A and B are shown apart, each in its own frame.
Chain A
Amino acid sequence: EAQVTQNPRYLITVTGKKLTVTCSQNMNHEYMSWYRQDPGLGLRQIYYSMNVEVTDKGDVPEGYKVSRKEKRNFPLILESPSPNQTSLYFCASSARGTGLEAFFGQGTRLTVV
C-alpha cells in the first residue's frame, strides 16, 4: 500500500529537549516536504526536498532542521523546541513535476511545555 508514515503520532516534550519526527514514504517520490497546521492559518510549509541531499527552506523554517540522506526518509529535527512550535505537523511526498498530487502522512501532534 502506498503510504507516508510519520512517527510518533503524538509527542509531549519540554522546552529545549531535542527531538526528531521521522517520515518515510514507499512510493519512490522525489519530492518531500514538511508542513505545520495551526488553526486559522492552514498548512504552512517548513522545509522541502527536491531529491536526495537537496533541501530548501519553506515559508516558516525558523527553529527546524531537515535532512535527506535517503530518498524514502525525510526527518524533521527540532534542536531546541519552544512552546510556539506546539502544532500539528504533516509530512508529504509527491513525484517530480508540477500538477501532481501530494500524499500526506497522518500527522504528528507536538506539544512543547
Chain B
Amino acid sequence: AQSVAQPEDQVNVAEGNPLTVKCTYSVSGNPYLFWYVQYPNRGLQFLLKYITGDNLVKGSYGFEAEFNKSQTSFHLKKPSALVSDSALYFCAVSDYKLSFGAGTTVTVRA
C-alpha cells in the first residue's frame, strides 16, 4: 500500500524567508511524487513532480522539491516566500492512483 505523511498541519513564515513544507512517503517500487496547491475556493493546482532523475525538481511559482530516497522524503521548498504563497499544500504519491497527504496550511505574513 502507498501513503504519504505531512507531519505539520500548519507552517508560518515571514515574507522573504525560506519556506519548507515536509512530506514523507511509503511505496513499494519506484515512487512518483507530486505537490499540489489549493488556494481558497479553488481546485488543486499541480506544482511539480518527481518521476526519476535529478533529486532536485523545479516547478511552478518558484517552488522546488528535494527527493531523498534514503529518508523517503519529498520536501517542498521556496527560497523566499511571498504573501501570495499562503495556501493549502498537498503532497501525493502515485502508483496506479493518487494518494494524498492530509495537507499543510501555509501562512506567509507580511
Contact = CB atoms under 8 A, between A and B. Distances in A.
Interface of A: 4, 33, 35, 40-45, 48, 58, 90, 92, 98-99, 101-107
Given A43-B90, A104-B44, A99 B49 contact: yes
A33 B100 CA distance: 13
A6 to B, nearest CB: 8
Given A92-B98, A99-B94, A104-B44, 16 more contacts: A33-B98, A40-B9, A42-B6, A42-B100, A42-B102, A48-B97, A58-B97, A92-B44, A98-B95, A99-B32, A99-B49, A102-B98, A106-B41, A107-B41, A107-B42, A107-B43
Interface in B64-110: 90, 94-103
A104 B99 CA distance: 14
A45 B43 contact: no
A103 B18 CA distance: 28
A30 to B, nearest CB: 13
A55 to B, nearest CB: 13
